[in-house]
Amino acid sequence: MAFDTKRTTTDTMRIYYDVPIEMRDGIVLKADVFLPIDEGQYPALMTYGIYGKGQCFQTVYEGPWTRMVTDFPEIMAGSSNRYQNWETADPEKWVPHGYALVRIDSRGSGCSEGIQYPWSEEEIKDYYECIEWAGTQSWCDGGVGLLGISYYAANQWLVAGLNPPHLKAIVPWEGTSDWYRELFYHGGIRCTFVDSWLKKQEGIQYGYGDRGRKNPNTGENVAGAVTMSETALAKNRIGLVEHIKAHPLKDAYYDGITVNWENIKVPVLTTANWGGAGLHLRGNIEGFSEGGNHNRWLEVHGYEHWTHFYTDYGVDIQKRFLDHFLKGFSNGWDTEPRVRLQTRLIGNAFKERTADAWPLPNTTFQTMFLNAVERTLTTTVPFANQHIAYKPLEDEVTFYMPKVSETIEITGPVAATIYISSLTEDADLFLTLRLFDPEGKEVPFRGAMDANAPVAQGWLRASHRKLDPKKTLPYRPYHTHDVIEPLEIGKIYELSIEIWPTSIVIPPNYQLALTVSGKDYEFSGAIDESTRAFHRYPSKGCGPFQHGERSQAIYNGDVTIYTGKAYPSSILLPFIKDEQQS
């Protein structure tokens, strides 16, 4: 098909810029289409999202790019890197391999007209239509796969649940699958990430025009040929933060962006990041677990949010999966282990292990009990009933395991049971797993969005303590978040708290600890301010996933933790029998 659009030809690709795709209501979205030199029919790999298909990765995110290619220079090999785009695949590594690559600006973003409404049902309807459009083009063999990071991953879950006929496989690479629990409200506590994130997207709203960046390969505006006034731009976007604030419970507002797991029939390669607490980690693991694991594979890695998507390790996994399901290659993927983990070691190192299930079949769940007086974690319940109080927004209480005498591994889901009372009608609990070296110095890890991430994190607002008995598992409490149940002042309550999955191999003389507080975790060591350039946010421990705007009067009232026979506060940890690493 000859597009009525700007075309460029390289040694390995035919590129068509701003190809129009008309939606059901007449709105026109724009796509960049990268095709092999030879005429023919190819499977298509697609992204649809807000970040601007014409923006150059190296220019817009120079710090993350520099860190990534310094650590992994292989990323730059075999490519001119002219067409690198934030969190999407490099066409020079895919198109010569026999794929068509399609990048689409979402409605109201980049070069696509319309009202911008991130993470909305409207976007998913558009995505469905785009998949069907691509699948029926003369250059497509009828098969469409989805491949992208973050925003380009999260909406894959939703559109796959609608079962577009031409969709054949998806690779949601670090993509949330529960917007309420994993993005907007952590344990019922509002996360303010979206507030800061939205401000960073203003320069790529459709109509920003001449004020925005240029596509380095075309010289055209990344955010559309039309330049609108600030008033017009404001009218053309939905106030997402206001909507989120107006829906603090998991109500009907979220129905349109709730994944229908059983409806996802296509093969799935879901990839997570151990350092992704606060957004994507939980979603990718749920995406493997929720659908009965039929035709689903889970991979979990480390480093920054985007890094392994571009490394030889990541691209090889992506190609083997997609070649098998989009091209029908007999490449051994059908015998690939269902679970592939890069288990986390000290010093930001990793060692691979594989399995056929999650949690890992060789997991022994061990309950460690809190001792309020000694501030320890032990395998036996303290006989005496004890308690300790703290000021939630000012203080924290840390409970330490004994230093380990031999190397141990903890990999899998984590849960806690904490008995508390409050001097106010509510309380926010922030639970953090931390690691300390033999000298007592805290050991951080390179997280997805923070250079000083802890081992694991979990959250719960006490008034959201109601559990869903059908979905709750011993190692994964599942809260309904559909009702607020205020606390009676001074009354003791049992709270079940989900701590997001983790992996850590602990050497001898190191010490694992659980910190309980009412505020965001902050790394106890010195902060290297230069790391901000690599992550785009201050690396104090939580990256952009902060929880502000909370009432001092309600959420800073004294909270008391109870331990002992009558109140067996505890944490459930997934110890691994070291079969593969021995």
Q: Count CB neighbours of 200 within 10 A.
A: 12
Helix residue ranges per DSSP H, 290-408: 307-310, 312-326
Q: In terms of Cα–Cα distance, which of 530, 503, 500, 366 is closest to 431?
A: 500
What 3-state class would DSSP assign to 60? helix
Match 């996360």 to its residue by tokens: 191
Gap between the Cα atoms of 396 and 205, Å rounded: 42
Q: What angle do CA 576, 580, 582 make, to 5 degrees?
A: 90
Q: Which domains does the chain have, with CATH numbers?
A: 6-175+189-247 (3.40.50.1820), 363-576 (2.60.120.260)
Q: Count CB neighbours of 276 within 10 A.
A: 30
Gap between the Cα atoms of 323 and 93, Å rounded: 14
**Are 465 and 485 spatial neighbours (Cβ–Cβ below 8 Å)?**
yes
Burial of 214 by CB count in 10 Å (0-12 exposed, 13-18 middle, 19+ buried)?
Answer: middle
Please tell me the predicted confidence (pLDDT) of residue 529. Answer: 74
**Are 391 and 558 spatial neighbours (Cβ–Cβ below 8 Å)?**
yes
Please tell me the predicted confidence (pLDDT) of residue 527. Answer: 83
Strand partners, 195: none
Please tell me the predicted confidence (pLDDT) of residue 293. Answer: 63
Please tell me the predicted confidence (pLDDT) of residue 292. Answer: 64
Please tell me the predicted confidence (pLDDT) of residue 579. Answer: 56
pTM of the model: 0.96
Burial of 450 by CB count in 10 Å (0-12 exposed, 13-18 middle, 19+ buried)?
Answer: buried
**Residue 37 tokens, joined:** 């030199």
Q: What angle do CA 74, 79, 83 make, to 5 degrees?
A: 120
Gap between the Cα atoms of 422 and 427, Å rounded: 7
Residues ≥6 apart with Cβ < 8 Å to 440: 511
Please tell me the predicted confidence (pLDDT) of residue 581. Answer: 46
What DSSP element (H or E) covers 285? Answer: helix 281-289
Gap between the Cα atoms of 397 and 299, Å rounded: 34
**Are 512 and 401 spatial neighbours (Cβ–Cβ below 8 Å)?**
yes
Please tell me the predicted confidence (pLDDT) of residue 537. Answer: 76
**Are 245 and 232 spatial neighbours (Cβ–Cβ below 8 Å)?**
no
Q: Flag residues of the chain having pLDDT under 70.
A: 1-4, 292-293, 532, 578-582
**Are 21 and 114 spatial neighbours (Cβ–Cβ below 8 Å)?**
no
Q: In terms of Cα–Cα distance, which of 206, 194, 212, 234 is closest to 109?
A: 206
Output Rg (C-alpha) for the chain, integer angstroms.
24
Inter-axis angle of helices 151-160 and 281-289, nearest 10: 30
Q: What angle do CA 93, 99, 104 make, to 5 degrees?
A: 90
- For residue range 185-220, list pLDDT tens digits in order: 999 999 999 999 999 899 999 999 999 999 999 999
What DSSP element (H or E) covers 468? Answer: none
Burial of 27 by CB count in 10 Å (0-12 exposed, 13-18 middle, 19+ buried)?
Answer: middle
**Residue 232 tokens, joined:** 């017009």
